[in-house]
């Protein structure tokens, strides 16, 4: 499902408005390999397994690691993309809402029955940082996405976006 992705801190990771600001690095430490599509019903939703886990490392302006501090202002959001990373697949059309072809052209009827767009990624698509111990026993910040499911069949990549909330 998701390929491991590491973003190293660099000039593009700090805020242009705050040149001496902290820099942030995300790395996927656990990613799902397979998932069962959940379809468009609500009863048979299966979460991604294992759940995606993303590590956050914080550095000062000189690239030195900063002490781990849990913050409710660190947030991460996940979206689903095509395997080639070119197409955002977060929104899909529910096939049950696609109008049947009329036997004769009728734009008035067709206009009333437009297909309904819905989220392809279900569950909690945002998480706040959790202070936990990594596999080496060191304190670290993690975003855990334990309640994610995909509606449609296919090969996808998960993309994570990090935010520092004001």
| pLDDT at residue 27, as a whole number | 96
Q: What tokens were used for 118?
A: 């819905």
Q: How would you write the pLDDT of the chain (166 residues) with one tens digit per residue?
A: 444 344 444 433 444 445 568 899 999 999 988 766 666 666 667 888 899 999 999 999 899 999 888 677 999 999 999 999 999 999 887 765 665 665 555 555 555 567 788 888 889 999 999 999 999 999 999 999 999 988 888 889 999 999 998 8
74, 141 contact by CB (below 8 A): yes
Determine the Cα–Cα distance for residues 164 and 145; give it in Å rounded to an integer.
18
Q: For 111, phi and psi rounded to 5 degrees?
A: -65, -30
- The pTM of this model reads 0.75
Determine the Cα–Cα distance for residues 68 and 13; give it in Å rounded to an integer.
18
| pLDDT at residue 103, as a whole number | 53
Determine the Cα–Cα distance for residues 139 and 25; give it in Å rounded to an integer.
16
DSSP element (H, E) containing 128:
strand 126-128
DSSP for 30-91, please give it. Answer: E--SB-----S-SSS----BSPPEEEEEEE-TTSPBPPP---TTEEEEEEEEETTS-SB-SE
11-90+120-164 CATH, one of 2.60.120.560, 3.40.50.1950, 3.40.50.300, 2.60.40.3960: 2.60.40.3960
| pLDDT at residue 36, as a whole number | 64
Question: Within a 10 A sphere around the Cβ of 121, how many other Cβ atoms?
Answer: 22
Q: What residue spans define the domains of the chain?
A: 11-90+120-164
């Amino acid at each position: 499902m998701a390929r491991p992705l590491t973003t190293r801190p660099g000039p593009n990771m700090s805020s242009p408005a705050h040149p001496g600001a902290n820099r942030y690095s995300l790395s996927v430490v656990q990613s799902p390999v397979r998932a069962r599509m959940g379809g468009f019903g609500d009863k048979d939703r299966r979460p991604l397994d294992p759940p995606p886990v993303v590590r956050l490392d914080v550095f000062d302006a000189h690239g030195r690691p900063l002490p781990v501090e849990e913050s409710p202002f660190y947030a991460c959001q996940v979206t689903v993309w095509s395997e080639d990373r070119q197409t955002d697949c977060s929104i899909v059309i529910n096939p049950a809402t696609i109008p049947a072809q009329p036997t004769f052209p009728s734009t008035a009827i067709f206009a009333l029955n437009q297909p309904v767009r819905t989220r392809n990624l279900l569950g909690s698509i945002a998480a706040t940082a959790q202070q936990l111990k990594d596999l080496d026993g060191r304190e670290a910040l993690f975003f855990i996405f334990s309640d994610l499911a995909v509606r449609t069949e296919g090969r996808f990549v998960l993309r994570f976006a990090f935010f520092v909330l004001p």
